[in-house]
Structure 1
């Protein structure tokens, strides 16, 4: 993926994460058409999977600041 595609995917993933945290993302929808009732169901993702996806994109873009792998010791 190009840098622009990664940035667009990051923005979409962060928006989806925010909507899920606020309870605004729907999973199942139904509506009536002239010939009957239709139903659409989307697969819900977990917040942890979405958070990992966001971290992966940030790492590829070079903007992830994760925890350090080693403890730092201070000497006085």
Structure 2
């Protein structure tokens, strides 16, 4: 039975998919290394301001990366384990 459900990435060019994959991978790296801040405060002439960005869920970001890789046909599948047979 074939999967007839269209991908959520249908209509995107391979170049756009590759760019989205690159952006998602960079975001994951920044999130995991703590390079991406979530809340910033700063003082302006008329008072203190704060900006808060939504923190992305690592599991959701990882799932997005896998979807993009699958769409591009570059999903890495695990190899079968090597088994030794002694006779």
| Structure number, greater radius of gyration | 2
Which residue matches 1:44?
55
Instruction: List gaps (5 residues or longer) in structure 1.
Output: none
TM-score, scaled to structure 2: 0.71
Which one of 13, 16, 28 corresponds to residue 2 of structure 1?
13
Which residue matches 2:46?
35
Q: Deviations over 1:25-57 (max 9, x none)?
A: 110111111111111111111111110000011
Instruction: List gaps (5 residues or longer) in structure 2.
Output: 1-11
Which residue matches 1:18?
29
TM-score, scaled to structure 1: 0.80
Residue-pair matches, total: 72
4+ aligned runs moved over 6 Å, structure 1 = none
